[in-house]
Amino acid sequence: MPLKIVFMGTPEFSVPTLEILIKKKFNILKVYTQPPKKSKRGQKVNASPIEDFCKKNNVNFDNPMNLNTHEVLKNFKLLLPDVVVVVAYGQIISKVFLEVVKFGFINIHASLLPKWRGAAPIQRAIINGDKKVGLTIMKIQEKLDSGPILASKEIDLNQNETHGEIEKKLSLIGADLLIDTLTNIESSISKFTEQIHVDATYAKKIDKNETKINWNLDANKVLAHIHGLSPRPGAWFNYKNERFKILRAKISSQNGKQGLIINENLTVACKTNSIQILELQREGKTKQTAKDFLLGKKINKDYLLS
C-alpha cells in the first residue's frame, strides 16, 4: 500500500517539496498551511505560496489559525495518515498530533543538524561565515529540531550568494532527498541516527535591531551580514536621513575610514578592506543595480555613512 501523506508547509521554500510529491504521484491526503496575512501596509491579504500552489493544482488544503485545537485534531485523525511531511510550516505541532501518526512527522530543516536548530538557519550560517550549509531530514520530537536524523546533504557556501539564492537551491535539494527518504520508510529500511545534542547551536529569529550595517567590522563580515539578510529583511544604512538596503555586494581591497564612500562606484570602507555595492533598494522603491541607481541619484564620494 502506498504511503498516505499529510503535508504541512507555508513559504516558497516548501513549494518544491509539495510539487515533487504530486509529480511522483504520492498519495497526498491533505495540505496544511498558515492562513493568509495582511501586507505590511494593510491594503492586501496575501495567501501563502503553498495555498496558492494548492489552489492552482486543485490540492485539498486547510489553513487553520491554530493547528492545536480539538476540532482540527479531530479532523486530522480522520485522515489516518501514515506519515506527515513538514517543511517550514510555522506553527508548533503539539504532542497529541505527533502520537497519532504511524511513521510520525518528518521535517526538512535547512541546516546540518545539530548545528543551527531554530528559525533562521540559513541566515545564521551565512552571517557566521560558515563554509558549508545543508539540509537535514529528521523525525519531529517535542524539543525543537532535536529528533533523530534520517538523511542529510551538505553543499559549499559561496560568500557571493545571498540567503535567497541559497534557500532556493536547498529547497530543490531537500525535495529530491525527501523522495529517497519516503521510499525507505515505505520499504521499512529507514535508519535513524540520534543527534549529538551537546553540539547543538541555535539560529534565533532575525531581529530588526540587528539589520543595520556596522562598518566597523571587517569587509568579509559586512558582506556576510548583507548576503545573509538578502533579500529579506535586508541589511541597511542611512544616507541623508533616508534608509537604503544593500542586497548584493562584493569585496574590494581598497581601504579608508570606516563607513566612508571611497569612490564613485559605491565602494564603502570597512575596518579592513571595503565592499562595493552591486544591488540596493531605496526605502519604498524596487531594487536596482548600483549602475542603474547611480543614473538617477548620486551618493557622493567622501560621504561618511551612518
Position 198 pLDDT exceeds 90 = yes
pLDDT at 39: 72
| Total Cβ atoms within 10 A of residue 293 | 20
Contact between 138 and 106 under an 8 Å Cβ cutoff? The reply is: yes
In a domain, 303, yes or no: no
List of residues 6+ apart from 66 with CB closer than 8 A: 72, 91
pLDDT for the residue 295: 87
Q: Give residue-wise pLDDT tens across range 165-184.
A: 999 999 999 999 999 999 99
pLDDT of residue 42: 59
Q: Are residue 130 and residue 223 in the same domain, yes or no?
A: no
Q: What is the pLDDT of residue 27?
A: 97
149 found inside a domain: yes
The answer to which of 105-109, 113-117, 224-228, 294-298 has the lowest mean pLDDT is 294-298
Q: What is the pLDDT of residue 16?
A: 97
CA torsion sign for 122, 139, 3, 94 is negative
Query: Are 254 and 291 in a shared domain?
Result: yes
pTM: 0.93
Would the pLDDT of 41 be above 70? no
Q: Which of 149, 183, 203 is the last residue of a domain?
A: 203
Q: Are residues 71 and 133 in the same domain?
A: yes
Contact 39, 33 (CB under 8 A): no
> How much of the chain, in percent, has pLDDT values that exceed 70?
98
The CATH number given to whatever domain includes residue 253 is 3.10.25.10
Domain count, the chain: 2
Average pLDDT of span 222-241: 96
Give domain status of residue 305, yes or no: no
Task: Give the domain extent around 280.
Answer: 208-296
CB-based contact 6:102 (threshold 8 Å): no
End-of-domain residue from the set 186, 203, 220: 203
* 94 and 222 together in one domain: no
Q: Are 172 and 16 in contact (CB under 8 A)?
A: yes
| pLDDT number for residue 51 | 98
Mean model confidence pLDDT for the chain: 95
Whether residue 66 is found in the same domain as residue 192: yes
Mapped to the 3 state alphabet, what secondary structure does the chain carry? Answer: CCCEEEEEECCHHHHHHHHHHHHCCCEEEEEECCCCEECCCCCCEECCHHHHHHHHCCCCEECCCCCCCHHHHHHHHHHCCCEEEEECCCCCCCHHHHCCCCCCEEEEECCCCCCCEECCHHHHHHHCCCCEEEEEEEECCCCCCCCCEEEEEEEECCCCCCHHHHHHHHHHHHHHHHHHHHHHHHCCCCCCECCCHHHCCEECCCCHHHCECCCCCCHHHHHHHHHHCCCCCCEEEEECCEEEEEEEEEEECCCCCCCEECCCCCEEECCCCEEEEEEEEECCCCCEEHHHHHHHCCCCCCCECC
* Residues 147, 215 within the same domain: no
Q: Tell whether the model's pLDDT for residue 70 goes beyond 70.
A: yes
CA dihedral 46, 47, 49, 53 (to 10 degrees): -140
Q: What pLDDT score does 156 carry?
A: 97
Q: Please give the average per-residue pLDDT across 155-164, as a whole number.
A: 96
Q: What's residue 140's pLDDT?
A: 96
pLDDT of amino acid 296: 83
Q: What is the mean pLDDT of residues 215-228?
A: 98
Residue 284 sits at the vertex; the CA angle it makes with 281 and 287, to the nearest 5 degrees, is: 25
pLDDT at 193 over 90: yes
Which band of pLDDT confidence, cut at 50, 70 and 90, is reported for residue 297? confident
CA nearest neighbour of 21 among 83, 71, 76: 83
Q: Based on the domain organization, do 216 and 199 belong to the same domain? A: no
